[in-house]
Structure 1
Amino acid sequence: MTEDTESLRPDDAFTLLADRTRIKIIRALGDASTPGVPETLPFSELRRRADISGSGRFNYHLKQLVGQFVEETDEGYRLSYPGVRVYQAMKAGTFTERVRIEPFELDATCHVCGAPQVAGYHDSMFRVRCRDEAGDCGAVFYKYFCPPSSLTERERAGVLRAANQRIQREIASMAKGVCPWCCGRIDARVLPTDAEMPQRDNPAIEHRVLHTCDTCDGSLYTRLGGLVVSHPAVVSFFHDHGVDVTRRHVWSLPFASSDERTTVTGSDPWRATVRVGCEGDVLRVRLDDEPSVVEACR
């Protein structure tokens, strides 16, 4: 059982941060900390590191942060967990940086038309798609948010590795019914093939699942095949062939990146089968409309 406490309204929380002096205090505490251990700084040392003139002015703004973003102890002040998250967002450039990576070709082909796949990054979204030149189908296989600083100053291999791990981790969480952003409860439903949705004209998408969080209202569309990448039966299947599928780029997996290997096999009850292939061997994964895996067989 949890104890009810008075919560800060969202507009009040953001108002607390709408001051450069307070941002400097949060940054100073974050910069002083070591990974996993928020550093506690005495009043005078924190003021020195934040480079804020005027003891009264500094004290006023510090007190505004205490209780929500900063904790006061006998030894001084340190970031609370919400303060750590604010600091991390600042460092990641989530709300401030603008990064663009021009599309570059991948060592993979479009699962629909066979043209080269390309990857790129702009407007905080990492995209993998068909090359989209004359004669290509232009299919989009993954479009996913990644913090700007997570992809800066990386070689292309590092960009792909970071984006792949983020995509796989968050989809695996949603497949288990847990919101990857706030840990709230995820509701998922398979949408009818004629349902209106973004990118309905994308030839790589037919059977789409809508995931929505009851707590933060976060939502995301995934393919049925993308949800089974982290399932134990699929991981074991690839492991038997000497492959760690969790390290494979998810957009290179035909069953996870298009509907070419997904078939609806029943309507009452609703069932679909995803054909997972590796080195000529095939694993058939059956799903219901929750969607959950109900059977996996070779």
Structure 2
Amino acid sequence: MDDDASRRTFELLANETRLGIISALGEASGEGGYATLAFSELQAATGVEDNGQFNYHLQKLVDEFVEEREGGYALTLAGIRAYQAILARVRSESLSIDPFEIDGTCRCGEPRHAWYEDSRGHIGCLSCGDLEFRYPVAPNAIDESEPDTLLNALNRKLTRDYLSMFNGICPYCTGRSTVRLAESEEFYDEVGMTSTPVNVHAACESCAWFLYANIAAVLILSPPVYSFIEERGIDMWNEYIWQEILDHEVTDIQWEPQRVEGTFSLAGDELRYVLDADFRLRDYEIVTDE
């Protein structure tokens, strides 16, 4: 990463007037697209009376966060991202949802709960402290008066990011993500999350975004496993990704070279698979209970 470029970016945004310009352009936008505002309109929306001072800060943003167009000024893609970050930050500071009971039970036998704090959705057990999911969710997708909106938002975010990250593309910077099998690591202990003997780790080579997941949660949307579930009457797109739809067992692990064998069980039938170090299903078979 270019440290000088990163420093310049933060310096550009470290000013109330410049943040006001980005916010004004974002707030003027609608469903038809991002707005283009004339100089006078943008100045009025920002509330800066001094023409020279306003123009100075506007020109600092031009080419990186703001672009000149016919009829005025509009946000660049970087400006749109900055506006989205401003919105998320403002709402996330005030939004929280207390734990509420959801379907399913923890491995200790007590009910699962979901809650929202520190800009993240959580799913875990209040009795034993096990934490199954802890993941950032945009506060704008959540209505604190309707807790189920948290579940819907968390499910959509996890599904999107799983499908992207575990297939080699970072959903945030579109950089290349590397995927590997991993044993339970210190990361789980640090955040108090439950782990399994073998996990899947994906990390972006550009922005360093990362994901950990158990094998079942990732494979459940792969074509063979998804079809196996659908053929037995369940559409995973209508279910939360953390719901216990089917049983999963890792039956064999080899670390050098990496190889995992496992079994999904549903309605008396089994899907037995072999997973390699590149997180590809090398082989699978379906065994029916006939």
Question: If each structure's strand is expressed as a fraction of its own residues, which one has the higher value?
Answer: 2
Q: Amino acid of the residue matched to residue 291 of structure 1?
A: F
Q: How does 1:219-298 map to 2 (within 5 A)?
A: 219-253=210-244, 261-266=249-254, 269-298=257-286
CA-based RMSD of the aligned residues comes to 2.5
Q: State the partner residue of 1:113.
A: 108
Instruction: Provide Cα deviations, 1:107-137, integer angstroms capped at 9, x if missing partner.
Output: 2112x233211111212221111232xxx4x
The structural deviation recorded for 1:29 is 0.8
Please give the alpha-carbon distance, in whole angstroms, between the structure 2 residues aligned to 1:255 and 1:181. Answer: 31
Q: How does 1:7-156 map to 2 (within 5 A)?
A: 9-35=5-31, 37-93=33-89, 97-110=93-106, 112-132=107-127, 136=128, 138-153=129-144, 155-156=146-147
2:189 alignment partner, SS class:
coil
Shift in CA distance, 38/245, structure 1 to aligned 2, threshold 3 Å: same
2:114 alignment partner, SS class:
strand
Please give the alpha-carbon distance, in whole angstroms, between the structure 2 residues aligned to 1:25 and 1:266. Answer: 56
> Contact 1:235–1:246 at 8 Å: present in 2 too?
no
Please give the alpha-carbon distance, in whole angstroms, between the structure 1 residues aligned to 2:275 and 2:118. Answer: 34
Please give the alpha-carbon distance, in whole angstroms, between the structure 2 residues aligned to 1:188 and 1:36. Answer: 38
Listed as ranges, the gaps of 5+ residues in structure 1 are 1-5
- TM-score, length of structure 2 as denominator length: 0.88
The structural deviation recorded for 1:94 is 6.8
The structural deviation recorded for 1:285 is 3.1
The structural deviation recorded for 1:296 is 2.9
Please give the alpha-carbon distance, in whole angstroms, between the structure 2 residues aligned to 1:64 and 1:269. Answer: 53
- TM-score, length of structure 1 as denominator length: 0.85
> Contact 1:94–1:148 at 8 Å: present in 2 too?
no
Instruction: Provide Cα deviations, 1:226-273, integer angstroms capped at 9, x if missing partner.
Output: 2112201122222212322133112213669xxx62232555653223
Shift in CA distance, 214/155, structure 1 to aligned 2, threshold 3 Å: same
2:242 alignment partner, SS class:
helix
Please give the alpha-carbon distance, in whole angstroms, between the structure 2 residues aligned to 1:15 and 1:203. Answer: 40
Please give the alpha-carbon distance, in whole angstroms, between the structure 2 residues aligned to 1:275 and 1:72. Answer: 57
The structural deviation recorded for 1:16 is 0.7
1:199 alignment partner, SS class:
helix
2:196 alignment partner, SS class:
coil
Listed as ranges, the gaps of 5+ residues in structure 2 are none
Shift in CA distance, 216/152, structure 1 to aligned 2, threshold 3 Å: same
Please give the alpha-carbon distance, in whole angstroms, between the structure 1 residues aligned to 2:193 and 2:29. Answer: 46
2:135 alignment partner, SS class:
strand
Q: Amino acid of the residue matched to residue 278 of structure 1?
A: L
Q: Amino acid of the residue matched to residue 18 of structure 2?
A: R
Q: Amino acid of the residue matched to residue 52 of structure 1?
A: V
Please give the alpha-carbon distance, in whole angstroms, between the structure 2 residues aligned to 1:9 and 1:242. Answer: 53
> Contact 2:92–2:119 at 8 Å: present in 1 too?
no
Instruction: Provide Cα deviations, 1:36-77, integer angstroms capped at 9, x if missing partner.
Output: 622111111111222221111111111111010000123210
Q: Amino acid of the residue matched to residue 268 of structure 2?
A: G
